[in-house]
Amino acid sequence: MPTEQLPLLFFKPFPSANLLAVAESLLNASPSTSVEQLDPLGTLHAVQNTRGFARLKIALPSFSFDSPRFEAAFEGTAEQTHIHVRFFGNLDKVAEPLYNALTALGLACYSVWDKAIFADWPIWEEPTVDSGFAARMTRILERKTLELRETVPDSNRRAQILAAFVKSPEFRAEMAAEARLEKPSRQKKAYSDLVNCYVRWKDGRASASELGAVRKLCPRFAAMSIAELRMQSGGSPRLLLLTAATARQAAELRRSAEQHGIALDIEPP
């Protein structure tokens, strides 16, 4: 089965309810007096009668939907207080229509990964390359070439190093730093939208369990032993896990980190 994406929690709050508090309470299986009782079967039948969801399978408390055409699916549970849905595959093809169907019935939507209430369906946007990309890249490569001429006399070797540098996280980080020096644009996203992700040790020093979790979390650390990772982290209270990540990559990494019991800091490069 494809990787799970963006679990959502739907519930019908009372008008004065604190939506975030209610959502967290429901996730923790704690009783809440701030939600209206649902009719699980009636709610799912309403979804089933919505265009595109006629093939919704209902076997309370479970339900599921599979769309081979869109390479997308979801499954979930419907209780008297809430509906919990997990998505797989091509997210927006099924998640947005389901969101629209359930919120039209008066239900609120909580994103489990984002820890936020969705008042509207979000538009997922990856950063786009702005008009200053070429000039920015030229400046960075010129600086890198001058640096290499001091230490690498062979021109072919310099070309190989430059080619590898352009594909590296260090290059993306320098692009982000260069973009921040320019006049910000409100019209489009650029490399300045990227972030760095750091693992933060709970006690200020990496424990063996935290280092083991890092090996599972990041492929570039997977082959390292615990001792090697401890040397890599040194005495620092944090370890750089991912450089120049998109907002969505950072959110997914934070979710994975929480599942492994480690804290993640997200900061501009």
> pLDDT 10s digit of each residue in the chain, 269 long?
445 667 899 999 998 889 999 999 998 887 777 899 999 999 999 999 998 899 999 999 999 999 888 888 999 999 999 999 998 877 778 999 999 999 999 999 999 888 889 988 877 554 454 557 777 888 888 888 888 888 888 888 888 888 888 888 788 888 877 777 765 544 444 445 678 888 888 888 888 888 888 888 777 777 777 787 788 777 788 888 877 777 777 888 888 888 888 888 888 76
Are 83 and 111 part of one and the same domain?
yes
Domain extent at residue 214? 194-267
Q: Is 108 part of a structural domain of the chain?
A: yes
Q: Is 123 part of a structural domain of the chain?
A: no
Are 177 and 263 part of one and the same domain?
no
Q: Is 217 part of a structural domain of the chain?
A: yes
The model's pTM: 0.49
- Structural domain total, the chain: 3
CA–CA dist 93, 132 (Å, integer): 34
Element (H, E) at 97: helix 91-103
3-state SS class at 52: coil
Of the candidates 74, 91, 117, which is a domain's last residue?
117
CA–CA dist 86, 102 (Å, integer): 14
Give the Cα-Cα-Cα angle 120, 18, 113 (nearest 5 degrees). 55
Please choose, from the candidates 168, 85, 182, 94, the residue with its C-alpha nearest in 3D space to the C-alpha of residue 133.
182
CATH value at residue 8: 3.30.310.250
Are 13 and 96 part of one and the same domain?
yes
Sign of CA dihedral 126, 131, 136, 139: positive
Are 102 and 202 part of one and the same domain?
no
Element (H, E) at 240: strand 238-245
Are 25 and 59 part of one and the same domain?
yes
Q: Is 83 part of a structural domain of the chain?
A: yes
Please choose, from the candidates 129, 110, 107, 106, the residue with its C-alpha nearest in 3D space to the C-alpha of residue 118.
110
Are 110 and 29 part of one and the same domain?
yes
CA–CA dist 63, 75 (Å, integer): 6
Chain centroid, CA 158 distance in Å? 36
CA–CA dist 231, 208 (Å, integer): 12
CATH value at residue 239: 3.30.1390.10
Q: How many residues are there in the chain?
A: 269
CA end-to-end distance (rounded Å), the chain: 35
